[in-house]
Amino acid sequence: MGKFDNHFQKAIEALHSEGRYRVFANLERRGAAFPLSWLYEGNTRREVVIWCSNDYLGMGKHPSVVQAMMDAAERIGVGAGGTRNISGTHLPIIELEGELADLHGKESALVFTSGYVSNIAGISTISKVLPDCIIFSDELNHASMIDGMRNSGAPKKIFRHNDVAHLKNLLSEVPLGRPKIIAFESVYSMDGDISPISDFCDLADEYNALTYIDEVHAVGMYGPRGGGIAEQEGLLDRIDVIEGTLAKAFGTLGGYITGSAALIDAVRSYAPSFIFTTALPRPVAAAATASIRHLKISTSEREGQQQAVAKLKKLLVMAGLPLMSSNTHIIPIFVGDAVQCKKASDRLLEKHNIYIQPINYPTVPKGTERLRITPTPHHTEHMILELCDALVETWETLSLPCDGVKHVVPMHQHVSLQPFPASGG
């Protein structure tokens, strides 16, 4: 027994009683065979198909990305050696930042150890530097953006999800001369919907606001060069700050912001979460650069993903499963109850060798629990058919609902960054 263990146990018990205690599957990717993986249970292992990876394009196993990481490790070693200020700045990071600035058509880019950190550093520093700044935030923004806003201490106004009229209303209440930030995402990761970017940019022009977009679930996958939804819609130059991750479609690790040289230099100079933490390891930076370069030119991964997505969506609709409306590669299937959601996930794994993690509160609002499926270009036609059959069997056996009632509670209310209940993603 450790000190205060009764408190820790009580906190865990609360999660069990609500059916949302999280269990991580012990998986080992089968290298080039991904999405096939080994699932380890005690002393045994069996083969499962992963259907919920955020390595959306399978770039984590791409030969040129793997090779870049191995070459860099052999040539220059693994660790960064310090913060960027203390001997942690090295050529692979400089190259990576150049690649990212180019990807988004911006003057500069700054790399962080994760996308989460890049949002904390970006949002909090920009809003602290701007005098008397006020932030306008979509109610479904990611926990890392909310963390950045809390960190900044700047006042914020929350607009209804993707609601242009509501945002306009809120903007019009604040004096024109006062600096403003509109913070939103392009693709929302749990619903798979896309924000009205150009409308938000119009409002930003009208009301003197800076636009800050999180393209984490779009970079690598949308736009002719993988520059995200803003690139796809020809809006790169209308967005002031584009934030992204290297850990999802690019298959590695790290996060970044891109923007004007002055803005990026200010964040570099003032953000504690940039200054006081060790830089990204050199092999990781080299692998990320290889991945971005590949996806700027190659379109087969994006096309393969879109084909797999279209096939699966069609089959699920035909089977009468409660697909939540999504116009992207993210396919959420509505369950609406934490215990049932966990049961469905368990059954898919036990009986069908299919791994889809249950998505429960606080990642999504209570009552909107779901399975979230993310097809990659490496899921075969056969795997897609098997998945559909397995889902139908699971829905029938557990008598799960076939109509997706969507009731949305603002993320700002239910993502608690206070110690209890724990926040997760």
Ligand X SMILES: *Cc1c(COP(=O)(O)O)cnc(C)c1O
User: What 8-state DSSP symbol labels residue 422?
Assistant: P
Question: Which range in 25-33, 112-120, 166-174, 344-352 contacts ligand X by CB under 6 A?
Answer: 112-120
Residue 171 binds ligand X, judged by CB under 6 A: no
Secondary structure letter of residue 4 according to DSSP: T
Shortest Å, Cβ 117 to ligand X? 7
Per the CB < 8 A criterion, the answer to whether 59 and 32 are in contact is no
Binding residues for ligand X, total number by CB under 6 A = 14
Nearest-angstrom CA–CA distance, 234 and 284? 30
In whole angstroms, how close is the CB of 191 to ligand X at the nearest point?
A: 11
Nearest-angstrom CA–CA distance, 215 and 109: 14
Distance CA 223, CA 228 (A): 5
Binding of ligand X at residue 186 (CB under 6 A)? Answer: no
**Are the C-beta atoms of residues 228 and 244 closer than 8 Å to each other?**
yes
Candidates 86-94, 114-122, 220-228, 304-312 — which segment interacts with ligand X by CB under 6 A?
Answer: 114-122
Q: Hey, which residues between 229 and 258 contact ligand X (CB under 6 A)? A: 245, 247, 255
In one letter, which amino acid is 20? R
Instruction: Tell me whether residue 343 or residue 372 sits nearer to ligand X (CB atom).
Output: 372
Kindly tell me which of 352 and 370 has the beta carbon lying closer to ligand X: 370
144 binds ligand X per the rule CB under 6 A: yes
Choose one: 7-15, 115-123, 166-174, 305-313; the region binding ligand X (CB under 6 A).
115-123
Interacting positions 67-106 with ligand X (CB under 6 A): none
C-beta nearest to ligand X: residue:
115
Q: Does residue 116 belong to the site contacting ligand X (CB under 6 A)?
A: yes
162 binds ligand X (CB under 6 A): no
Nearer to ligand X by Cβ, of 232 and 273: the residue is 273
Distances (CA, A) of 2 to 9, 14, 21, 216, 420: 11, 19, 21, 39, 20
Query: How many other β-carbons are positioned within 10 Å of the β-carbon of residue 5?
Result: 9
CA-CA distance, 47 to 40, in Å (whole number)?
9
Q: What is the DSSP letter of 224?
A: T
Helix (H, G, I), strand (E, B) or coil at 236: helix
Can residue 362 be called a binding residue for ligand X (CB under 6 A)?
no
Answer for which of 53, 108, 114, 152 binds ligand X (CB under 6 A) is 114
Minimal CA–CA distance to 142: which of 124, 121, 119? 119
215 lies in the site for ligand X, by CB under 6 A: no
Q: Which residue in 119, 211, 357, 394 binds ligand X (CB under 6 A)?
A: 119
To ligand X, the closest distance from the beta carbon of 355 in angstroms equals 19
Rounded to an integer, what distance in angstroms lies between the CA atom of residue 36 and that of residue 47?
7
Q: Which residue in 327, 399, 324 sits closest to 365, CA to CA?
A: 324
Determine if 185 is a binding residue for ligand X (CB under 6 A): yes
CA distance 59 to 203: 36
Q: Of 27-35, 86-94, 193-201, 210-218, which part binds ligand X (CB under 6 A)?
A: 210-218
Binding status of residue 280 toward ligand X by CB under 6 A: no
Longest C-alpha distance within the chain, in Å?
65
Task: Give the interface segment with ligand X, choosing from 209-217, 263-271, 279-287, 310-318 (CB under 6 A).
Answer: 209-217
37 binds ligand X (CB under 6 A): no
214 backbone dihedrals φ, ψ, rounded to 5°? -95, 110
Q: Does 146 bind ligand X (CB under 6 A)?
A: no
β-pairing, 156-159 vs 331-334, is unpaired
- By the rule CB under 6 A, 124 interacts with ligand X: no
Q: Which residues are catalytic?
A: 248
Q: How far is the CB of 189 from ligand X (least distance, A)?
A: 4
| Residue 39 CB partners (closer than 8 Å, separation 6+) | 25, 26, 27, 45, 46, 47, 48, 349, 353, 355
What minimum distance in Å lies between the beta carbon of 164 and ligand X? Answer: 20
Where do contacts with ligand X occur on this chain (CB under 6 A)? 114-116, 119, 142, 144, 185, 189, 214, 216-217, 245, 247, 255
